[in-house]
Structure 1
Amino acid sequence: MSLAEIRLDDKYRVATGQLYLTGTQALTRLPMLQKQRDAAFGLNTACFISGYRGSPLGNLDKSLWDAKQFLQENHIHFQPGVNEELGATAVWGSQQANLFPGARYDGVFAMWYGKGPGVDRCGDVFKHGNSAGVSPHGGVLLLAGDDHGCKSSTIAHQSEHAFIAASIPVLNPANVQEMLDYGIIGWELSRYSGCWVALKTIAENVDSSAVVDVDPLRVKISLPTDFQLPEDGVHIRWPDPPLAQEKRLNMYKIYAARAFALANNLDQIKLDSPNPRLGIITTGKSYLDVRQALDDLGLDEELCARVGLRVLKIGMSWPLEPVSVHQFAEGLDEILVVEEKRSIIEDQLTGQLYNWPVGKRPRVVGEFDEQGNSLLPNLAELTPAMIARVIAKRLAPIYTSPQIEERLAFLAAKEAALAAPKHDTKRTPHFCSGCPHNSSTQLPEGSRALGGIGCHYMTQWMDRRTDTFTQMGGEGATWIGQAPFTDTKHVFQNLGDGTYFHSGHLALRAAVASGVNITYKILYNDAVAMTGGQPIDGELRIDQLSQQVYAEGVKRIALVSDEPDKYPTRATFAPIVTFHHRRELDAVQRELREIKGTTVILYDQTCATEKRRRRKRGKLADPAKRAFINSAVCEGCGDCSVKSNCLSVLPLETELGRKREIDQNACNKDFSCVEGFCPSFVTVHGGGLRKPEALGAKALFVALPEPRQPDLARPWNILLPGVGGSGVTTVGALLGMAAHLEGKGCTVLDQAGLAQKFGPVISHIRIAAKQDDIYAVRIAAGETDLLLACDLVVAAGEESLAKLNDKIAHAVVNSHEAATAEFTRNPDAQVPGAAMREALLEAVGEGKTHFVDATRLATALLGDTIASNLFMLGYAYQKGLVPVSAEAINKAIELNGVSIPLNQQAFLWGRRAAHDLAAVEQLAKPKTPDAPRCETFDEIVADRMARLTAYQDAAYAQRYLELVTRVRQADNGADQALSRAVARYYFKLLAYKDEYEVARLYSEPAFRQALEAQFEGDYRLHFHL
């Protein structure tokens, strides 16, 4: 099969045709399409974009910056808002451009973006702007990012009610293609009706990828011919009295929106029947869930027509257009409304049908049934499984089938199985390795802190005595309400520099005005780390920040940094600023908590992830220094984890118990782990990480047989669970592009949110013969064909197990037991690998489940743990479980343009491992293999005697032998547990590590061998004794 010719910038450069786009890229392309449409119709327009980032729109601003050249070519001006309401106010201003002389364009169409909380913040400006209206050739589109499942938010969000309060029509797209189509419709609707128009977005469309048609003239617009607009029009003007605006909005603009929806067939009957009995009305993502549910129940188009099932897809969920609804409702006994969260359509529908004759009026159910019992819950998110149960129940009086009964039985059995989990270990989000928050959020004994918006939100589930949080910009204000009524004299308040610039400075001003005792710890980390490392939307140097808070009237300012000497001149700072190394943080905090009033700590340390990015791009010097732990000296106490709170300090299981090691691939060189003043730590200066050489690979693997690919008679579903930040989403992106290169249909959904911070990430990849074969982008319960498990913990979690059915599923599982964040707090924390493997075997089946330690093999063969995910993909491919070719995957890796040789080699090594695992294991063996572990009592004793002889002498070892021998003679236990314990721990007591023993262990050849296994080149060592 020949592959399509594709370049990486096709997503914005190609004028028409089909492209593979993420939802974010589609929203970036959207204003270009509108500009091109306007030009085709003879209009000279421009576009203005503003707003504020937040998931699922967290990377839209970054995408717009990346497309700067293409935006400029299309006269699109992007100006991020300092916060959401100021961005919306600027959008309002764009519609006023043609009210005054000097306008250079026929009109300016505008796009605002913001997360659900941002919609809430903008209530006032949305009402004012929508009342004022839009210019005739302008228009306003509001992108609202809702998080129904509260995956990356402080509260679940549904923005429709806020828009309804402002009389703003709401369009509800179902997928990436509809975001483009409805975006164009939104601007055209805005121009016709004079309304601002909302476009609802959720993770299912923004965080997904799909093949879409980008023809700018794809959408055909018909203006209503039977609606009478007022003589003076519905558009913005000046002067414009408030009551005139109200009349225009309430008597014309909303009804004009309804007429536009009818004229353009925004509400469409997708399934029909000549004798309809049961109707389903749905919208957006829920429409795809309904179609998936029907498919799972075996209800195809022909069967739906035969049993009397009709489905209406609503495009504009408010205001609900009545003519289409009435036509749909004719002849129905019942209408089931399927929509997520609080009712929007159902409430409007019951009002519109209320005056129908009783004998003609269909029964309406949805959030509740006819008896008032809960039917479709308004909590979190609906799934195809939940919807399938309800459809089957409402359809039961007129139709059922063996396939429906089988599906319901599977769902019940799966629910019962998940109710009895085999383990309770979960992967929770955590700070990145070297994150400033690992140090900055520590508190002195006896103090507590308040949380807020930003990465420091995660301290709530860490041992940091940080409780409660506020909305963005409210940080510290809750203490104003608490302080008069408690004996607690003082609190600390964490505040990021991005939040401070957005609105947090007002809360600090309020704290000063109230006179409460509070210390703001403002992290100045040079990036908005929570949403992708973007810069602050304006200039804020740290000396400027000090002057600002000083002008607000704070009593004391202390600047704390990992590099306090980096400020060449301190004259530009506020006069009361003192400078400290981060090692002094505890003392500084103790001092400031005793000062009455508001004080500030400016904690200056660059975001660790941003440092890593800049080092890779050559924009920041990479220090030739690395931390290393001599495992022979380490006692496994965990103090290095306590000091650093860092996930790059890993457990190392040895014959002498659990020790520690540094994950050199993940380490961001913060070096706070060294602050434990432990003699096992060494810093390596100079040199570099050793790159492994798999000698003999080419001779062993001359050619690999091509596997038979899965059949695509139906979509092939790949579930990809892994750890956030480890490259999991890259695998999904590569598979999506590979499918597109081969002309296949594909969707990819990345469920991440906070998970990108080392929590659980699950990608849903659906590949089909053609795009129209795919409905829901999320894999339904029990519909996974391949579990490509990059992490054992996430794979064995409830969300992954729910997607598995042993009748169809296969699994390729990375068996490596990667430590969870719990290890930073509990040095004895374990990953219950055996229980997790058992759970997966039970869900998939023994003959179809492949376990391989991809992390160990990829690191040994390629020198980087990040290669393990592509290794897993290669393994699954060679097993015949991936429905795209190796050629397409390798081409997708090239197009991605990141670490091309490493990723292609990782994919190849995975294929080799699937073909001949024994040969790959042999090549991956270390040059100096680890000594075999002691299994029997006698082996333990012989090993410890040899160690004690080296520690002191043979007589000392004999003393050990005499005691353990006496214990063994007295031990009547069948498993000799007591004898084994004495043999292990009496040795530890005797082999006390004083200065002499530490020096001896450093002189052992094993230390030099361990160093040489990890490092090469000219390096020197610094011992932290």
Structure 2
Amino acid sequence: MAHSLLADTPGHIDLLLGNEAIVRGAVEAGLQVATCYPGTPSSEVPDTLFRLSPEAGYSFEYSVNEKVALEVAGGATLAGAMTLCTMKHVGVNVAADPLMTLCYTGTPGGLLLLSADDPGCHSSQNEQDNRYYARLACMPVLEPTTAQEAKDMTRDGLLLSKKHGAPFMLRTTTRVNHLRGPVEFGPAPAPGKPDGFQRNPSKFVPIPAFSRPMHVALLERLEALRQEAENSPYNTVTGNGPLGIVCSSISRAYVADALTQSGLTDKVRVLGLGFSHPLPETLCLDFLSGVSKVLVVEELEPILENDLRALAQKNALNVEILGKNVLPRCNEFTVTMVEDAIRTLTGDPAPVRNACQPAALPMRPPNLCAGCPHRGTYFAARKVFGDDAIYSSDIGCYTLGLLPPLQAADFLLCMGSSISAGGGAALASGKAVVAFIGDSTYFHSGLTGVANAVFNKHNVLIVVLDNRTTAMTGHQPHPGVDKTILGDNESRLDIEASVRGLGVTEVREVNPFNQKKTQAALEELKAMKGVRVLIAKEPCPLFTRRVYKKVAPQVAYVAESCTGRFECLDTLACPAMYRDGDRAAVNPILCNGCMLCLQVCGHIKAKKRGS
């Protein structure tokens, strides 16, 4: 029996996560190829596609990075396949090169790019607004507000992309990706076979002589898509009054709640833009002409605000436009924040609110999981290098080594940057540099850093933290894993072999839970110059339980002889350990049996789990 997300059951209503709704929309469009690089808040989309792939009619892959994912998707759509490519917002930075050119060549089979933006930096190093990318690339944008719209816009974005031969961006935010709501299904036809490749070099090979007319054709497509936006059911006008609100994405939900909460619904007209780019200028002009003052509600950048200001100025409209002068340019909005901005628009006084004073709670800084092998690697590195080295970090679980007592992250730029930036820091400072990079990140964009370091003779120690999975985003596979939730990886790439193939001669491999050998290997590599690599290899304990179906056979406990010096807590910061009066203690439920603490303090012992 087919999974409910694959079933052809029009009219059925299910309660779906926003990301699950996106999968259903792709299925309803007749998805044939899906590619991705996982990244929160987008990860549940490819993970769901991956789980469904054995019984679905589409091809799916976890690509090594976002650029490769979009290039594979681009090749698939040029060969006539209806294609979905998913990534988080910073992934579009990596994919920007092929993205700009795909907008020139067009997408005959249809291509939808999911850009999952992250206002508030819930799980990201920045909160960039990728609507700018869409304008840079002359790319149409759909912005869902509800789970139902996430499904419908995914379906319609793919179908419109195929109709016009133009890639579409589905721009979501964390709230949309992770909300849950009722979704009514439409028909889900079998995907069929791709249309096939139609050879046309003048359209698909962007040498300068061809690129110039391609750019003209791109602008003509964008104007044709503007008419689609003018007539789109995702662009709506509601309410009455001399005052107006223009909103998009999740801000449409904030506005609806704020108007209901404040009782100001009858005082304003609301233009909600779901198909937000190209801007439906006729619809917007008609709206602006009917109001005296407008509030633009959009998270992050004033993109709609600036578009509307330009439109009003060009058409000599006498309308006051409010936006980022009453709403912030960073972080997520709240209903109360939007309500106060609407009251600025209407002139109604803000109500007196009783400030909620939550109970004082202890701080919970982010920490590596109990039994995480990265803790052993960091502990050993600090023992060997202390504060004498510069620690170059990267994107992944291991970034959590930032805080005391481990303190193994001095700077971080982006995915794969630790090796390249570490080489630059060594070049400029003359100090020892230890560059940490995860196994998935190594395949994502670390290989080029290694090649560059070898070629330019950088003096850097690279530590590959190989926990056998892409841990932080949900245990997705990468080329170096030996097992996934769907079985063995028969095409596993060996990290040590690849490092040596790139020209590194000094390579060591250790289990970071064996502190004696790990510290000895680090001491040996510390005494050398040039590019050298330590591979710290031990599976993530959560992945071990989930995929290998293994549970550690023993746990740690603190003996009665504990002297209360708390060296184990102060140097390891393992969340399974805690203070129990004047002694240390171990929570046997949280303990993963890594026994790293036994190597730090002689008062900690091991016992069989459950005894």
Q: TM-score, normalised by structure 2?
A: 0.90
Q: Residue in 1 aligned with 2:225?
A: 257
2:453 to 472, 492, 511: 511
- In 2, Cα distance between equivalents of 1:365 and 1:205: 25
8 Å CA contact 2:119, 2:127 repeated in 1: yes
| Among 210, 233, 245, the residue aligned to 2:181 | 210
For residues 897-955 of structure 1, what are the alpha-carbon distances to aligned partners after superposition, in whole Å with 9 as ceiling and x for unaligned?
A: xxxxxxxxxxxxxxxxxxxxxxxxxxxxxxxxxxxxxxxxxxxxxxxxxxxxxxxxxxx
Deviation at residue 87 of structure 1 after TM alignment: 1.0
Alignment pair present for 1:129 and 2:97: no
In the alignment, which of 546, 553, 564 is matched to residue 496 of structure 2? 546
Alignment match, 2:135? 164
Which amino acid is the alignment partner of residue 122 of structure 1? A
Measured in 1, the distance between the counterparts of 2:378 and 2:234 equals: 51
The whole-number CA distance in structure 1 between the counterparts of 2:303 and 2:571 is 51
Q: CA deviation at 1:663?
A: 1.5
Match of 1:272 in 2: 239
Residue number among 574, 580, 587 corresponding to 1:646 in the alignment? 574
The answer to whether 1:10 aligns with 2:10 is no
**CA apart distance, 1:662:** 1.9
Matching residue's letter, 1:659: R
1:186 aligns with 2:157: yes
- Preserved contact between residue 423 and residue 459 of structure 2 (Cα < 8 Å): no
Give 1:651 deviation, angstroms.
2.3
- Aligned-partner Cα distance in 1 for 2:412–2:122: 17
> Conserved in 2, the CA contact under 8 Å of 1:123 and 1:166?
no
Equivalent in the alignment of 1:625: 554
Alignment gaps of 5+ in structure 1: 1-6, 36-45, 98-106, 219-234, 369-374, 564-580, 690-1014, 1016-1025
**CA 1:284/1:182 → structure 2, altered by over 3 Å: closer, same or farther?**
same
User: Per-residue deviation at 1:484?
Assistant: 3.6
Distance 2:561 2:122 in 1: 42
- 1:604-683 pair list within 5 angstroms: 604-614=537-547, 619-630=548-559, 632-642=560-570, 644-653=572-581, 658-679=582-603, 681-683=604-606
The answer as to whether partners of 1:95 and 1:236 remain within 8 angstroms in 2 is no
Name which structure has the greater RCO, CA cutoff 8 Å, separation 6+: 2
Structure 1 pair 149/430, CA: closer, same or farther in 2 (3 Å)? same
Whole-Å separation in 2 of the counterparts to 1:356 and 1:643: 66
**Matched ranges for 1:863-902 at <5 A:** none
CA distance in 1, matches of 2:305, 2:551: 58
The 2-side partners of 1:156 and 1:236 are apart by 40
> How much has 1:361 moved relative to structure 2?
2.5
Change in CA separation of 1:186 and 1:14 when aligned onto 2, cut-off 3 Å: closer
What amino acid is the match of 1:239?
A: S
Pair 1:66–1:487, CA change in 2 (3 A): closer
| Shift in Å, 1:677 | 4.0
Q: How far did 1:272 drift?
A: 1.9
Offset, 1:202: 1.5
Structure 1 residues 487, 90: CA separation in 2 closer, same or farther (over 3 Å shift)? Answer: closer
1:602 aligned residue: 535
The aligned counterpart of 1:363 is 320
Which residue is 1:226 aligned to? none
Kept after mapping to 2: 8 A contact 1:59/1:531: no
The letter of the residue matching 1:272 is G
DSSP-derived class of the 2:418 partner: coil
The secondary structure found in structure 2 opposite 1:626 is strand
CA drift of 1:48 comes to: 0.8
1:61-100 map, 5 Å = 61-71=46-56, 75-97=57-79
On the 8 A contact 2:21/2:151 being kept in 1, the answer is yes
* TM-score using structure 1 length: 0.55
Q: Which residue of 1 aligns with 2:341?
A: 390
1-side partners of 2:450 and 2:574: how far apart? Answer: 30
**Matching residue's letter, 1:139:** G
Letter of the structure 2 residue corresponding to residue 166 of structure 1:
A
User: What is the SS of the residue equivalent to 1:622?
Assistant: coil
Equivalent pair of 2:37/2:66 in contact (CA under 8 Å): yes
Residue in structure 1 matched with residue 252 of structure 2 by the alignment: 287
The amino acid of 2:553's aligned partner reads A
Q: 1:334 to 1:164 in 2, by over 3 A?
A: same
Residues 634-664 of structure 1: CA deviation (Å, up to 9, x unaligned) = 23222223454311112223xxxx3222212
- The amino acid of 1:92's aligned partner reads G
Distance 1:212 1:395, change over 3 A: same
Higher Rg? 1
Taking structure 1 as reference, are residues 589 and 69 closer, same or farther at Cα in structure 2, changes over 3 Å only?
Answer: closer
Could you say which residue in structure 2 is the equivalent of 1:32? 27
The change in CA–CA distance for 1:635 and 1:165 in structure 2 (over 3 A counts) is same
Contact 1:480 1:514 in 2 (8 A): no
Q: Match of 1:452?
A: 394
Contact 1:366-1:376 at 8 Å conserved across structures: yes
**Equivalent in the alignment of 2:422:** 479
Deviation at 1:348, TM superposition (A): 1.2
Amino acid at match of 1:558: R
Q: Distance in 1 between matches of 2:362 and 2:302?
A: 36
- Is 1:426 the counterpart of 2:363 in the alignment? yes
Distance 1:59 1:422, change over 3 A: closer
CA 1:288–1:58 in structure 2 vs 1: closer, same or farther (change >3 Å)? same
RMSD over aligned Cα atoms: 2.4
Superposition pairs of residues 287-326 of structure 1, within 5 angstroms: 287-300=252-265, 304=266, 307=267, 309-326=268-285
Residue 304 of structure 2 is aligned to residue 345 of structure 1: yes
Q: Is the 2:579–2:585 Cα contact (8 Å) retained in structure 1?
A: yes
- Cα distance in structure 1, aligned partners of 2:177 and 2:278: 24
Residue by residue over 1:274-299, the C-alpha shift from the partner in whole angstroms, topping out at 9 and shown as x without a partner, is: xx211000011001011111122123
Q: Is the 8 A contact 2:25 2:155 kept in 1?
A: yes
> 1:532 — aligned with what?
474
Deviations 1:683-730 (A, max 9, x none): 223xx52xxxxxxxxxxxxxxxxxxxxxxxxxxxxxxxxxxxxxxxxx
Unaligned runs of 5+ in 2: 190-197, 204-209, 483-490
In structure 1, what residue type is equivalent to 2:605?
V
2:216 matched residue in structure 1: 247
Could you say if the C-alpha distance between residues 464 and 662 of structure 1 is closer, same or farther in structure 2, counting changes exceeding 3 Å?
closer
Q: How does 1:696-735 map to 2 (within 5 A)?
A: none
- Give, as a single letter, the amino acid of the residue that structure 1 aligns with 2:530: G
Structure 2 matches for 1:732-881, cutoff 5 A?
none
The alpha-carbon deviation at position 239 of structure 1 amounts to 2.8
Residues 82, 502 of structure 1: 8 Å contact kept: yes
How far does residue 265 in structure 1 lie from its aligned partner after superposition? 3.4
Deviation at residue 470 of structure 1 after TM alignment: 2.0
* Preserved contact between residue 115 and residue 130 of structure 2 (Cα < 8 Å): yes
How many angstroms apart in 2 are the aligned matches of 1:621 and 1:378?
47
CA distance 1:202–1:261, shift in 2 (3 Å): same
For residues 8 and 607 of structure 2, what CA distance do their matches in structure 1 show?
50
Local SS of the residue matching 2:536: strand
Q: Tell me the distance in 2 between the aligned counterparts of 1:624 and 1:122.
A: 44
Contact 2:405 2:571 in 1 (8 A): no
Which digits, 9 at most, give the CA deviation of each residue in 1:540-581, with x for residues without a partner? 899832122122222411111158xxxxxxxxxxxxxxxxx4
> Offset at 1:492?
0.4
What is the percent sequence identity of the aligned residues?
24
Instruction: Give 3-state SS (helix, strand or coil) of 1:531's partner.
Output: coil
